[in-house]
Amino acid sequence: MLKKERALYVDRELDRLYPNPPIPLDHRDSYTLLVAVLLSAQCTDARVNQTTPALWKLADTPEAMAEVAVDVIREIIRPCGLSPRKSQAIRDLSRILIDQYDGAVPEDFEALESLPGVGHKTASVVMSQAFGHPAFPVDTHIHRLGQRWGLTNGRSVEQTERDLKALFPKDRWNALHLQIIYYGREHCTARGCDGRVCPMCRALYPNRKSPVKTRK
């Protein structure tokens, strides 16, 4: 298959497997989604979902979170890892939202990326999942599968994002982001497939003999 043919096959097959992919992080609104995505850095969504109920019980708005001591936030989110940095970021961004955005999460990439603890991927998730703007956040699953499926050389996360955006229609970016994640978790895992095992890899490269070494 040519690259465009592989992309078309991936698009159709993932839409068949996951026609209505749910957002994996539990949240109530754009603010709680922003905090949950921040917590998911180097942590599983499952762990975040186990942790956030206690955090939302304590504070689920910027106004309430800004009044909570960083040490208290840190103790609650400790299971998610990197708790000193994440707790300070949550407290600081909550204060910025109050001071600069009337307590609302800004619907703007540049504004989001200026918040403490919020990088391009986090901003992309919030823009796509909270506000519906086309974005293609690249996590470890997407970066790995894009390479196994011959859709990118994986030279960098930024390159993978550019390559996938060029291959798929913009109106499919938001759903595909989630569909690839779900497929990566269920079928094409880091250790369970090497580019020759899962159904998608076998369909795209039926004659592949050697394992695919993916860039991190």
Active-site residue list: 121, 139
Q: Fill in the amino acid letter for 79.
A: P
Composition of the chain by helix, strand, coil, percent to 5:
60, 0, 40
Q: Which of 99, 95, 139 is nearest to 119 (CA)?
A: 139
d(CA 163, CA 146): 9
CB burial of residue 92 (10 Å; 0-12, 13-18, 19+): middle
Give the CA distances from residue 61 to residues 32, 51, 97, in Å, rounded to whole numbers and listed in that order. 8, 16, 10
CB burial of residue 68 (10 Å; 0-12, 13-18, 19+): middle
Distance in angstroms between the alpha carbons of the first and the last residue of the chain: 25
Q: Fill in the amino acid letter for 31.
A: Y
4 within 8 A of 42, measured Cβ to Cβ: no
